[in-house]
Amino acid sequence: AQSVTQLDSHVSVSEGTPVLLRCNYSSSYSPSLFWYVQHPNKGLQLLLKYTSAATLVKGINGFEAEFKKSETSFHLTKPSAHMSDAAEYFCVVTLFLSYNTDKLIFGTGTRLQVFP
Amino acid sequence: SAVISQKPSRDICQRGTSLTIQCQVDSQVTMMFWYRQQPGQSLTLIATANQGSEATYESGFVIDKFPISRPNLTFSTLTVSNMSPEDSSIYLCSVGGSYGYTFGSGTRLTVV
């Protein structure tokens, strides 16, 4: 069965320091994995996606994530946090439904706080 | 990627009433998905809506409470019926595929 676990409900960093948001997944087949960001009172925005191409995926706003099959992980990183990065981040794994259509399984979310 | 227009963006409703949420997509899509995000929580899939057939509901969600219409490949509605304060949530629609998923801006529902 497909599932995703976000290991930290809250992460706090200082502006300019690295960000690490952890995500582990469980999948019975090679999954697609996504990271979405949700700013307060805003919609969901796709940060990046892994779909069995390169294991290191670069996304928007300087974020990247590395797919590690041996560790079943897909951690999100950014070298230097910015105040505008403060938001809720969701790790998402797909469950195959039919050709070109999957169901999304959301993690519980990680709230990132960035202090000046 | 597709662009979704969702409305209303928010509403305050009396308990016992119903609210219908609409999602319009700027391109034809096979499946549309409806999610609920309770306060401070993650997203939970309510149902998958395929054009021309009945929606498929996830465990814990039933058609009588959350009827869905999917009259064509660009439009869907979700109705929250006989509302109670426990239904206060953000409701979102979504479309997409392995390339990624786009979400509507959400409907923030408060039941009083």
For residue B65, report the phi and psi dihedrals to the nearest 5 degrees: -90, -35
Which pLDDT tens digit goes with each residue over A43-91?
A: 899 999 998 778 899 999 999 999 998 999 999 999 999 999 999 999 9
Superfamily of structural domain B4-8+20-102: Immunoglobulins (2.60.40.10)
Which pLDDT tens digit goes with each residue over B4-50?
A: 999 999 999 999 999 999 999 999 988 899 999 999 889 999 999 98
Closest by Cβ to A100, choosing from B43, B97, B105: B97
pLDDT at A100 over 80: no
**A67 within 8 A of A51, measured Cβ to Cβ:** no
Pairing assessment for the beta strands B19-25 and B31-37 based on DSSP bridges: unpaired
Hey, where are the domains in chain A?
3-53+66-115
Amino acid in the structure at residue B40: G
Q: Which residues of B touch A90 (CB under 8 A)?
A: 42-43
Coil/strand/helix, residue B106: coil
**A43 within 8 A of B106, measured Cβ to Cβ:** yes
**A93 within 8 A of A30, measured Cβ to Cβ:** no
Shortest distance between the Cα of B1 and any Cα of chain A, in A, equals 11
Hey, where are the domains in chain B?
4-8+20-102
Fold for the domain defined by A3-53+66-115 = Immunoglobulin-like (2.60.40)
Q: Please state whether A72 falls in left (phi above 0), alpha (psi between -120 and 50) or beta.
A: left
Which pLDDT tens digit goes with each residue over B40-78?
A: 889 999 999 988 788 999 999 999 999 999 999 999 999
Shortest distance between the Cα of B98 and any Cα of chain A, in A, equals 6
Give strand pairing partners of B90: B37, B108
The separation between the first and the last C-alpha atoms of chain A, rounded to the nearest angstrom, is: 41
Report the C-alpha gap between B4 and A69 in whole angstroms.
34
Residue contact B98–A97, C-beta within 8 A: no
pLDDT at B97 over 90: no
Report the pLDDT value the prediction gives residue B50, as an integer from 0 to 100: 86
Question: Which pair of tokens denotes residue B98?
Answer: 């392995």
